[in-house]
Structure 1
């Protein structure tokens, strides 16, 4: 498990560009709202920390993680957005629904990124339990929202 080896909130800030001229779309799933709100706050704060202007960060909500790719496609198609950060959580249940959702979301976000040549970041927690999701949204393992925001800035640097 990657987060057992590395805290999701730790990164080398020296490699990040100034994000002041960049525009970000945050897409946040409402399912498991306590977790996704924490991911969103961490992503937003990280973008601000690295120079993004509040007026250039646009938060959008969708019902659940399954809806992230369509919202990401809508934002990525806009010339007003440079990178899209998708935040959600899928917790394993008694059935295999999580496998189907996780695969569909990952594939959908990758397709959007490739179609529009823009960073579309997979900031979705795919955990076995609520406790694991809490540990990765501001708990013992840091916050995936930080990691997602850093990935967006790194990819924008790469594209420049």
Structure 2
């Protein structure tokens, strides 16, 4: 059984907790053992937390869950691009998959509820598929 870690942004705690529930269910179904769940303030902190997990010899992959909601400025878009770029870099550096279940950037509040569970599930499925094909 492959072991994974999950990094979660607590800025939208209610929705991300629901994402975590879905991630746990899919991980169990795909025979992935979640050995670490790390809550961070928001998406900007996710790359460092992911790197710390990916450095661990017992972790084969990770999942990032959270939300970057549309704001009044371009901050969310800039942050979203930087975070995704960092996550891709970490995957290539460590040769370990990272499933991205981050809603946005630029998501409107009304768009969040129907996407919470599907995005979390897809992020875990991506890690499971990449680990299975390694």
Cα shift at 1:91: 0.6
Max Rg structure: 1
Do residues 152 (structure 1) and 132 (structure 2) align?
Answer: no
| Partner Cα separation in structure 2 for residue 128 and residue 82 of structure 1 | 30
Give the TM-score normalised by the residue count of structure 2. 0.94
Contact kept? 1:44, 1:57, Cα under 8 Å: no
**Alignment partner, residue 49 of structure 2:** 71
TM-score with structure 1 setting the length: 0.79
Q: Which whole-Å CA distance do the structure 1 matches of 2:78 and 2:48 have between them?
A: 16
Flag structure 2 segments of 5+ consecutive residues without an equivalent. none
Q: By percentage of residues, which structure has more helix?
A: 2
Gaps of 5+ in 1: 1-20
Distance in 2, matches of 1:130 and 1:31, equals 13
Greater share of strand: 2
Number of equivalenced pairs: 133
Q: In 1, Cα distance between the equivalents of 2:69 and 2:84?
A: 15
Which residue of structure 2 aligns with residue 30 of structure 1?
Answer: 10
